[in-house]
Structure 1
Amino acid sequence: MKTLDAIAAELQGYDPQALPAPMVDAFLARLVQPVAGVDEIGIADALGRVLADDVVSPVSVPPHDNSAMDGYAFDGGQLKAGAPLSLQVVGTALAGKAWQGKVATGQALKIMTGAVMPAGLDTVVPQEFTRPAAEGRIEIPADVVRPGDNRRLAGEDLMAGRPALLRGERLGPAACGLLASLGLPTVRVVRRPRVAYFSTGDEILSLGEPPREGAVYDSNRYTVRGLLARLGCEVIDLGVVRDEPALLEQAFRTAAAQADAIITSGGVSVGEADFTKAMMRQLGDVAFWRIAMRPGRPMAVGRIGDAVLFGLPGNPVAVMVTFLAFVRPALLRMMGCRDTAPPPLLRARSLEAMRKKPGRTEYQRGIVSTGPDGGLQVRTTGNQGSGVLSSMVQANGLIVLHHAQGSVAAGDTVDVMMFEGVA
């Protein structure tokens, strides 16, 4: 297990007092390791979980050649360019049972979607492309199908004995359906990381407490809980911890004993009058950063015991931004996920000018929509103060203005990070 100093030595230009946002991800990639432990669970409970092993297909999917259409199956070798084809219909093949007869030259078999293709037949003409003819015959007009059309080949989706899904795959709805198509009732997945979370500060009220002057209700705990739950972590909520050394020490020790990761909000800014930073230093190997970003400049990272620590700012918007930009990719790595990159950025045309100085990454709350030309366009939500949580509700993504980027003029193209689809 590397110390923070050893990790820092690997990063050229590392400066904890002016840390570029991309270097945060590089640091956390070295700090955070996948958890140990595997669960075997039912497919119905596998959504969002990460595969612990490669899944090798025990069967071919589909298991046999079958029809992709309702229509008529026949030997496509009888087709001649520019000429119609007349065929005698000799039976009907239904999905779920193999047709037992034989189809000779000059004959066709009425067939339903998914029905097994009998031996010697390789082409299906859709029913609507045919014309009825006398005495149980059909006529296929010239050039409406080619040999091999509308036939699904055995194993064209998955072949028996080959990997269907790879270790580290985070299972989405399609992957769960694919596992079910293999007839697998259970799957081995990496156990869910346990993440302990608490807010700090004497000014923080828990829900149910009466209002008092100078105090605010704790929104961060519920924001972070939602982000963690959507990611698929097991959340340990330790509530609000007052700014008292004994209480903070107890909370950190409890969190480190129970969890793989600890997330706090508040108490990491320069000049804070509380004891949070001092307790982090006392109990663990912790670095305190000033990240060249807005919002969310202060952040603490490190370890307390075997648990990885993420000390986030106290402002509600800064909590969400730092989580999405840095903590989410780190926790995906902890989950054993193969793809731990930050969410992909889309390109959108800015509907307004935005002032920015090079030298820091800015995340502006944005409303992305489709423009008259069919391309994406984006405008800000207005007030970008880091305490304006309502702006995150109005937004459907973040406008990402990169470290070296300057001011943006209306009409310029910018990067946006969408909220939906970010698990």
Structure 2
Amino acid sequence: MSATPAGLLPVAEAQARLLALATPLPIEHVDLLAAQGRFLAKPVTALRDQPWTDLSAMDGYAIRHADLPGPWRLAGESRAGGASPSTLLRSGEAMRIFTGAPLPDGADAVLVQEEALAADDHIRLNGEGPGYPGRNVRARATDFAIGSPLLDAGSLVGPAHIALVAMAGHATLPVRRRPRVALIGTGDELVAIGGALRPGQIPASNGIMLAAMLAQAGAEVVDMGLFPDDLDSLTAAFRAAAEADIIVSTGGASVGDHDLVAPAILKAGGTLDFWRIAMRPGKPLMAGRLGDALMLGLPGNPVSAFVGATLFLLPLVRRFSGAESPLPHWSSLTTSVPLPEGGLRAEYLRATVKDGVVAQVAGRDSAALLPLAHSNALVERPIDAAAALPGEQVRAILF
């Protein structure tokens, strides 16, 4: 196997170094709906029993199982939403009960109404009846009990989790403050979205793409605007963005005469931790610090910026947000198309996955957005990997 080219940092090492620079942000308590899509800062336990008492799972009659096959004398009624009946159910008695209603003391089963004949104040069996004690009963605390662990710290909160903690008695959840991310676009050729274009100019698509990715990841985005290839202007932009948790620039990250991100960061008083990654696309990615903010410099080509954001920016946001596992989730998929052998850099191919199978792989042009927009995965080709034949397994990040 070939070594990583001199001066290039392996992707995994660069990710580890970047995440080591960040610590989770302070904790805040938010209402349940505001916690959607965020990561728990502390474990959550139940504040109540669920069910709160033994409840009927069916409409019918609460009985003592030992009294089968009956008959029974009707001794009252229990409805959902009411307190537990105050009377003790005695041998030979049945109580009319509805789904979700509390069982009276003494009852241990529910005879469903389809298997009962009611006449006057007496109930007779008209079927097999409940087969065992506890039949058609939701026993107290069988879902969870007071103090039961519900969710771990670092869990991503979704709708089902919100329902769970609401039922468990919580009105708020502890989460990390949303990371503030400042976006800086660089390049003389860039024009704001919707602006008139002169020859040689292009719309600034990277900023809006990254803003969408960051919003989906739960970050607060501050668009600092577009800046020309001018050292003083770019230095001022970085200084103005230093109050953010993360500063992200696009473009100007390579080593050409007009690639000024690294000099501007240093002139603004920042430091660089690493620069240039053994990956394709996205080799000129850089990371550093400016004051309390972490800085991530992404390449200007749109696909390179997307791949860099997927592998580095979004994990950094998740790390600040308190995620238990901030790195992207890799899926093992079968490829139905041949894939190229790996080179000196890890390569991330735009791909279309259907029914868990890699069905199509796009070309390698890092400026081509149409194939990216029609892809739903990045397929990895590791350094020096042999060409993959149809039917073989590959690793992919699904969007």
TM-score higher than 0.5: yes
**Superposed structure 1 runs of 4+ greater than 6 Å apart:** 13-16
1:20 aligns with 2:13: no
CA RMSD of aligned residues (A): 2.7
Matched, 1:262 2:251: no
Residue 304 of structure 2 is aligned to residue 318 of structure 1 = yes
Q: What runs of 5+ residues in structure 1 fail to find an aligned partner? A: 1-12, 80-84, 371-375
In structure 1, how many angstroms separate the alpha carbons of the residues matched to 2:45 and 2:317? 27
8 Å CA contact 1:67–1:117 kept in 2: the answer is yes
Residue 342 (structure 2) pairs with residue 357 (structure 1): yes
Distance in 2 separating the partners of 1:336 and 1:71: 49
How many percent of aligned residue pairs carry the same amino acid?
Answer: 35
Distance 1:255 1:394 in 2: 33
Q: Are residues 243 and 185 of structure 1, via their aligned partners in 2, closer, same or farther at CA, if it must alter by over 3 Å?
A: same
Letter in 1 for 2:314: R
| Equivalent-residue separation in structure 2 for 1:228 and 1:214 (angstroms) | 29
Distance 1:65 1:175 in 2: 24
Q: TM-score, normalised by structure 1?
A: 0.83
Cα deviation digits, residues 178-201 of structure 1 (max 9, x gap):
232233333333211111111111
Any conservation in 1 of the 2:49–2:146 contact (CA below 8 Å)? yes
Letter paired with 1:139:
N
The residue aligned with 2:47 is 58
List runs of 5+ in structure 2 lacking aligned partners: none
**Aligned equivalents of 1:348, 1:241: Cα separation in 2:** 41
Question: Contact (CA 8 Å) 1:68, 1:114: kept in 2 or not?
Answer: yes
Q: 1:409 Cα shift?
A: 0.9
Residue 281 of structure 1: SS of its match in structure 2? helix
Q: 1:195 aligns with which of 175, 181, 184?
A: 181
Decide which of 388, 407, 414 is 2:394's aligned counterpart.
414
Task: Tell whether 2:123 aligns with 1:136.
Answer: yes
Matches of 2:201 and 2:301 in 1, distance apart?
14
Show the counterpart of 2:374.
394
The alpha-carbon distance between structure 1 residues 89 and 218, as it changes in their structure 2 partners (threshold 3 A), is farther
- Is 1:224 aligned with 2:217? no
Matched positions, count:
392
Please tell me whether the aligned partners of residues 71 and 112 of structure 1 are also in contact (alpha carbons under 8 angstroms): yes
Shift, 1:319, TM fit: 1.4
Change (3 A) 1:382 1:162: closer
After superposition, the Cα gap between the structure-2 partners of 1:16 and 1:133, relative to the gap in structure 1 and judged at 3 Å, is farther
1:152-175 Cα offsets, whole Å, 9 max, x none, are 232233322344434433322122
SS in 2 for 1:322: helix
Matched-pair contact (CA < 8 Å) for 1:16–1:289: no
**1:356·1:407 contact (CA, 8 Å) conserved in 2?**
yes
Residue 99 of structure 2 is matched in structure 1 by 113
Q: Which amino acid aligns with 2:128?
A: P
Counterpart contact for 2:48–2:168, Cα < 8 Å? yes
Report what 1:7 is aligned to. Answer: none
Query: 1:204: how far off?
Result: 1.1
Match of 1:402, as an amino acid?
P
Work out the CA distance in 2 between the residues paired with 1:71 and 1:14: 72
Asked if structure 1 preserves the Cα contact closer than 8 Å seen for 2:116 and 2:123, the reply is no
Deviation for aligned residue 1:305: 1.0
TM-score (norm 2): 0.88
- Given that 2:229 and 2:258 are in contact with CA atoms closer than 8 Å, whether structure 1 keeps it comes out as no
Structure 2 distance, partners of 1:89, 1:393, is 70
Counterparts in 2 of 1:377 and 1:109: CA distance versus 1, 3 Å: farther
SS of residue matched to 1:239: strand
